């Protein structure tokens, strides 16, 4: 059973446009929501993360919007650049003392056209 559902599977955006990737979850125990960026042949790298006590977090051109009641969160990439072309994974985790079980979405392949 997929704990985190991610869409779309692939996305093509013009340079300068806005890229939007959506994720949804069911488990109300999740309280940490990171986004990872993965380039071909590389491991995922943490991009930005949010906790449910805020509805939005912005870091440079990257913004997470979080809707706790709808159990949805999304990544917005403003002024998308060709260098942003990568696969993006959302994840969710319940913070625990022993460690975080990260549940990843299925990924979105983003292509930014020059």
Partner 1 sequence: EAEVAQSPRYKITEKSQAVAFWCDPISGHATLYWYRQILGQGPELLVQFQDESVVDDSQLPKDRFSAERLKGVDSTLKIQPAELGDSAMYLCASSLRDHKDTQYFGPGTRLTVL
Collapsing DSSP states into helix, strand and coil, what is residue 12? Answer: strand
Q: Which of 11, 49, 65, 72 is in the footprint of partner 1 by CB under 8 A? A: 49
Number of H helices, E strands in the chain: 0, 11
CA atoms of 16 and 20, how far apart (whole Å) = 13
Number of residues that bind partner 1 (CB under 8 A): 26
Q: Which helix (H) or strand (E) holds 17?
A: none
Identify residues 53-92 at the interface with partner 1 (CB under 8 A): 89, 91
Q: Which is nearer to partner 1, 13 or 107 (CB)?
A: 107
**Residue 47: CB minimum distance to partner 1, A:** 12
Does position 93 interact with partner 1 (CB under 8 A)? The reply is yes
**Residue 25: CB minimum distance to partner 1, A:** 13
CA atoms of 62 and 80, how far apart (whole Å) = 10
- Please report, as ranges, the residues that interact with partner 1 according to CB under 8 A: 4, 6, 32, 34, 36, 41-46, 49, 89, 91, 93, 95-96, 98-102, 104-107
């Amino acid at each position: 059973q997929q704990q985190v559902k991610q869409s779309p599977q692939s996305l093509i955006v013009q340079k300068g446009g806005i890229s939007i990737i959506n994720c949804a979850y069911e488990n109300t125990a999740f309280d940490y929501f990171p986004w990872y960026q993965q380039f071909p042949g590389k491991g995922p790298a943490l991009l930005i993360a949010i906790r449910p006590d805020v509805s939005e977090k912005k870091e440079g051109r990257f913004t997470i919007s979080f809707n706790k009641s709808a159990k949805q969160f999304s990544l917005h990439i403003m002024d998308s650049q060709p260098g942003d072309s990568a696969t993006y994974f959302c994840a969710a985790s319940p913070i625990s003392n022993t460690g975080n079980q990260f549940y990843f979405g299925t990924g979105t392949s983003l292509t930014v056209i020059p």
